[in-house]
A and B are shown apart, each in its own frame.
Chain A
């Protein structure tokens, strides 16, 4: 149930995530989406944009700037309240878990915003999942590089073939109850020191 009359403001310093969310909202029929990336004079930008709904990522220290908007009615035309409804603790929890917070103009009907919130939360979740997978892949790649370097050192110093060097690394890791990459790192460090 889309409603083009909503103006949705996204405050996110993560450019990719902001675009992912923006695209998602547009696809769902919310044409009026404004993304704020520059945090200078945030309050003024928000006041000028007159949004109905504001989304901000939880890593953003400027969240506290928004919090003031509940209190300073004289700087904003329309009072802004946190979230859909004070009773909607479940939605708050889902949003916080996904890493996003929403501020909604007071008096807007709950049903009208629910779908926007749900969409935002799911996009945030998907993005974070993607990011953590990416981080994991990167880390795995780094670890593999370390292991390869350590293998090379062992092959050279102990005159082993690749398979033997790897077996030796694994055995050491199991004996010491360490990760393979940790053993590899120690070998690299030690070999630097012994040079």
Chain B
């Protein structure tokens, strides 16, 4: 084994696409790296295998890297995230029964999250009045974007996620069955699991998380901070390989080949057409309805999708504090800040990418056509972004933001 033989863990979800393409399309080989991808069954395994050194790097939930750096719930092992694997790709799906109840209160296919949430709030009130048990929603991990996005949506619509509903963790491959058997009434998960619930005739997609927070962050490449320090060339190579793979993945003409690759049992093992649809930001929201396009539902490269914004890390932290996974401290802010590494990204891509932002932070607010100034002092325009409820996240004032929710 040479230092260029790397073992990288992944989980069968649509956003392993950039990682799979990096290896299968020769982008890692181009960097002199020989990468073995290992499929994992749980996020806990991904974390543990990174911690004990079975994996050099892995596809990780953004908040997971921060939780490990902060030592919440496990050993304190500083991790770093030098590149993002994409934006969005998640959705909230409910059982057909719950959807029918929501429809009675005005929910409509592909309506905005505020009106869908208002309908859900009514259903919850009805159930409480009739003495029925509270609704149960599944998500994939306590430190996940799914958990925070689901909670954000519920809370913004007047539903207390800790009191009015029950949130449980269920692994993605078990979610469709859990919905069918009534173990959960809905869930928030990445593709293809929402589409598979619709295809199985057991669920309806209420909203994508890209509708809750446009251009919202998702998975990153994560590795141990000490490993990254000891292997700067390998980290650089991985960043470049994933960056180029992401460019390739984002081209619509490559979606068919990419979907066939991901459909293989050793990767995701889901039907090609379902995967290809989602790669092209298209979803069937309910059984027997036409496929609709959701702009920027899943972005693999455009919109600076691979840049590891430090402000994203800080937003995750704000939600960890908000939902009482830990208490606020300025030391923690520093550790969070040190986990996301735009500096490594810039360093690796200096000669390749002309659109690297000059700043590590962006204010998250609902704007149409934001400008980001890049290294050449020219500006580039992003698609509309921000939270559906219009709330603004100012990364320079995390404490103030958290107080707004109190």
Contacts and interface: CB of A to CB of B under 8 A. Distances in A.
B45 A58 contact: yes
B75 A61 contact: no
B42 A60 contact: yes
B294 interface: no
A60 B48 CA distance: 14
A38 to B, nearest CB: 13
Contact of A61 (B41, B54, B168, B325): B41
A194 interface: no
B51 interface: yes
A61 B141 contact: no
Given A43-B168, A61-B173, A86-B76, A67 B141 contact: yes
Given A68-B168, A92-B52, A96-B54, A86 B44 contact: no
A103 to B, nearest CB: 10
**Residue among A39, A64, A66, A81 facing the most chain B CB atoms (10 A cut-off):** A64
Given A62-B171, A92-B48, A71 B142 contact: yes
B76 A67 contact: no
Contacts of A71: 73, 142, 325
Contacts of A61: 41-42, 171, 173-174
A39 to B, nearest CB: 8
B75 A86 contact: yes
Given A61-B173, A65-B168, A70 B73 contact: yes
A93 B51 CA distance: 8
B183 interface: yes
A64 B75 contact: no
B49 interface: yes
Interface string B37-76: 0000111110011011010000000000000000111111
Given A70-B142, A93-B52, A96-B54, A64 B42 contact: yes
Contacts of A40: 183
Contacts of A191: none
A82 interface: yes
Interface residues of A, number: 29
A101 interface: yes
B44 A64 contact: yes
Interface in A28-80: 39-41, 43, 58-68, 70-72, 74
Interface of A: 39-41, 43, 58-68, 70-72, 74, 81-83, 86, 89, 92-93, 96-97, 101
B169 interface: yes
Interface in B267-323: none
Nearest to A41: B183
15 contacts: A41-B183, A59-B41, A61-B171, A61-B173, A63-B41, A65-B170, A65-B171, A68-B141, A70-B73, A74-B162, A82-B75, A89-B75, A96-B49, A96-B52, A97-B52
A60 B43 CA distance: 11
B140 interface: yes
Contacts of A93: 52
Contacts of B75: 82-83, 86, 89, 92
Contact of A101 (B48, B174, B183): B48
Contacts of B168: 43, 65, 68
